[in-house]
Amino acid sequence: MQTFTEENYLKTIYKLSEGSAPVSTNQLAAILNTKAASVTDMLKKLSEKKLIDYTRYYGVTLTEVGKKIAVDVVRRHRLWEYFLVEKLNFKWDEVHDMAEELEHISSTELVDRLDQFMDYPAYDPHGDPIPDKHGRIKHHEFKPISQLDVDESGVISGVREHSPPFLQYLEKLNLMLGNQIRVIEILAYDQSVVLTVNQSENKISISKEAAKNILVTS
Amino acid sequence: MQTFTEENYLKTIYKLSEGSAPVSTNQLAAILNTKAASVTDMLKKLSEKKLIDYTRYYGVTLTEVGKKIAVDVVRRHRLWEYFLVEKLNFKWDEVHDMAEELEHISSTELVDRLDQFMDYPAYDPHGDPIPDKHGRIKHHEFKPISQLDVDESGVISGVREHSPPFLQYLEKLNLMLGNQIRVIEILAYDQSVVLTVNQSENKISISKEAAKNILVTS
DNA sequence: ATAAATTATTAGACTAATCTAAATATTTAT
DNA sequence: ATAAATATTTAGATTAGTCTAATAATTTAT
Ligand SMILES: [Mn+2]
Ligand SMILES: [Mn+2]
Ligand SMILES: [Mn+2]
Ligand SMILES: [Mn+2]
């Protein structure tokens, strides 16, 4: 059994180590809103418990056991987010903080029943894949809008940035999951993208930054 | 904002102080599975925070603010239990421990939405009333089976003991909420009760102890 | 009314998780 | 290759919650 704190560290290491690259102390401190010294303390502890491989001054990676726990926390987080949106009618910008608490409820049986209750959803409200009970994850073929050419289209399937203001902004522009967009123009001087949503007449313009954070499938 | 531990103390004081009687240190220690010394420490802290009125060597009662929090924790506990049974199909003997964790999820909005999602249930799976969002509680006119006379009948509406073994025992005898029982005989020598369930031919016998812990409405 | 038993509080210590400040290692720039 | 900047770790404190052992207050029994 892990404490909430340990689970949060494991989850964060997992998310930062895209493809098993070692994660640094400062990266963790920044995301976990704590100090580097505290991170070092916790890394020693998790290393003791064989949940991570940690080398001083070098970085940290998850062991198989640690990774399993991390994926399970991610599973719980995303299933609860799905529940909050689909069953309790919260909006996609409202659910993250609640899921941060709910992800630490320990019962495996509870999460599996929740999964069944919702008919085994594959993606959470932000388009992130939900690991199944064995930790298997489906990967979308995502591409940010910023990588589309003029006249290319795609279906919005995920976001790279989860902050409520960004999600609310997308909602205002009708840039929500499932909607189809088509790139009309890419402005030369700042790479901002002009596009249409769901074949509408209406052209909208988004910054290069925003375009990088909206993911589409084709 | 309170910690989990503080919430558990407040909830326990609330439950032990039926009708505002002061609660003792040892009572709390027993139920909270801790030591009297730890209880004293926490009582000082809760008193500082004005959530309880505490007099050394005398006992403790809740302030209005403390009571409000306690009732809210009870509300969350019972709503989650209802959710687990009605939506996720857990049995009534399986849900308490999960609800012990879920009751500490802080969002008020979440609990209110959950309440709405389930259409404002009045009683939890054990027959205990669920306080509404303003802290109002409906009280059943409960009576234990042990107080019924021969030939009297009633509908099972609650239990006084929540341990899984007891609940499983009741289930085995079909003594579940909503079922009607009729007292056939009360044995003189040990006050055990012979009764029928839902007009069945089948007579079952339960101890005096069990009869005290099953509550009926007439 | 005194002694004995019970109940409750205090004193002092421990663990988990955190912090600041100081020291050390590594990386980058000159 | 050395100095400067950055990143990381260690040392030492702090807070919440808990514990055991010792002390004090209250209640019960004689
Ligand atoms: Mn989230
Ligand atoms: Mn998400
Ligand atoms: Mn319960
Ligand atoms: Mn209950």
| CA of B213, C1' of C22: distance in angstroms | 64
B1 part of contact set with chain A, CB < 8 Å: no
Predicted local distance difference test score (pLDDT) of residue B123: 97
Task: Give the tokens for residue A153.
Answer: 């289209």
Are the CB atoms for B209 and B154 separated by under 8 Å? no
Distance CA B73, CA B105 (A): 10
The number of C-beta contacts closer than 8 angstroms across A and B is 33
Average pLDDT over residues B56-71: 96
SS3 A159: strand
Say whether A189 sits in a helix, a strand or coil. coil
Q: Tell me, yes or no, if A44 comes closer than 8 A to chain B by beta carbon.
A: no
Give A79's contacts in chain B (Cβ within 8 Å). none
d(CA A122, CA B15) in angstroms, rounded, equals 42
Q: Ligand 1 centroid vs B175 CA: distance in angstroms?
A: 43
Give B40's pLDDT tier (boundaries 50, 70, 90): very high
A102 touches chain B (CB under 8 A): yes
- Rounded distance between C-alpha atoms, residue A9 and residue B124, angstroms: 36
Instruction: Find the B77 Cα to ligand 3 centroid distance in Å.
Output: 7
Is the per-residue pLDDT at A126 higher than 90?
Answer: yes
CA of residue A73 to ligand 4 center, whole Å: 27
Q: Which residues contact B151 (CB under 8 A, 6 or more apart)?
A: B182, B183, B184
Token reading at B172: 């085995």
Q: What is the pLDDT of residue B1?
A: 79
Amino acid at A160: R
Of A84, A90, A117, the CB nearest to B88: A117
Whether the CB of B101 is below 8 Å from some CB of chain A: the reply is: yes
Q: For residue B110, give both structure tokens.
A: 């979440």
Report the chain B residue with the minimal C-alpha distance to residue A100: B105
Q: What is the pTM of this model?
A: 0.94
CA angle, B135 as apex, B132 and B137 as ends, to 5°?
A: 70
For chain A, strand residue ranges (E) read 52-55, 59-62, 143-144, 153-159, 180-186, 193-197, 203-206, 214-217
Q: Which two tokens stand for residue A49?
A: 């418990």
Q: What is the pLDDT of residues A36-49, one digit of tens each?
A: 999 999 999 999 99
Task: Tell me how far apart the alpha carbons of residues B212 and B129 are, in angstroms, rounded to a whole number.
Answer: 19
Nearest to A87 among B97, B105, B117 (CB): B117
- Using CB atoms, pick whichever of A89, A101, A110 lies closest to residue B106: A101
The sign of the CA dihedral A205, A206, A212, A217 is negative
Distance, angstroms, CA A37 to C1' C25?
A: 15
Split at pLDDT 50, 70, 90, the class of B218 is confident
Confidence bin at A26 (pLDDT 50/70/90): very high
pLDDT tens digits for range A186-203: 999 999 999 999 999 999
Phi then psi for residue B74, to 5 deg, are -60, -45
Q: What is the mean pLDDT of chain A?
A: 96
> Looking at the complex, does the CB of residue B118 fall below 8 Å from at least one CB of chain A?
no
Q: Contact B118/B83 with Cβ under 8 angstroms?
A: yes
For residue B44, give the amino acid letter.
K
For the segment B70-82, the average pLDDT, to the nearest whole number, is 98
